[in-house]
Structure 1
Amino acid sequence: MVSSDFAKQMAGYGLVTAHILYRLPDHPSFLQSYIWQEYDISPRFPQLNKFLEFWQRELDGPLHEVTVVHQSLIKPAELRHVGGVFLLH
């Protein structure tokens, strides 16, 4: 059984981390930090956009800044046939 995360990576998804700074509703001069991480497709980031739309629609803390980092964890060049197996005891 293949994990869903591995299947997503093989389908072109990469790990996306978003560092979100937002203002506190009761204290607008203070910034709070939130880290969001999920597998998503670059450069459109549909999962991240869906989350940010939810945030703006449902949460009281207005967004100040969103920094996004994307990394493809598995690349085609990294998958190759292994010529031998070595066992260590």
Structure 2
Amino acid sequence: MAQSPSETELMLRGYGLTTAEIFYRIPDYRNVLNSFVWQEYDLAPDHPKLFEFIEFWHEEIEGPLHSVRFTHRKLISPGEWRNVTGEFHYH
């Protein structure tokens, strides 16, 4: 069984944190909007995981979507990461 990559490995591969706020209608009360927040590491600009989740919602969840708004943020850029092999403390 393959082990899934850690968050740090994903960030070093170019993934960033995508946060989506999903507004949907409650099936029994179509005039009521509810919201759901979804977060996952995803690749911009295509956002394959976000669109996969939206497809899942359409197929499996009864509450029809009203709207989705999202933001994406890379948490580590290549210039910010450095490998530290030792550390010195001076008094």
1:8-87 to structure 2, matched below 5 A, reads 8-80=10-82, 85-87=87-89
Percentage of identical aligned residues: 49
Return the letter of the residue paired with 2:42: D
Question: What TM-score do you get using the length of structure 1 for normalisation?
Answer: 0.87
Point out where structure 2 has 5 or more consecutive residues left out of the alignment.
Answer: none
Q: How many residues align?
A: 86
Higher strand share: 2
Point out where structure 1 has 5 or more consecutive residues left out of the alignment.
Answer: none
Deviation at 1:88, TM superposition (A): 7.2
Q: How has the CA–CA distance of structure 1 residues 81 and 54 changed in structure 2, closer, same or farther, with 3 Å as cutoff? A: closer
RMSD: 2.0
Q: Distance in 1 between matches of 2:66 and 2:18?
A: 19
- Displacement over 3 Å in runs of 4+: none
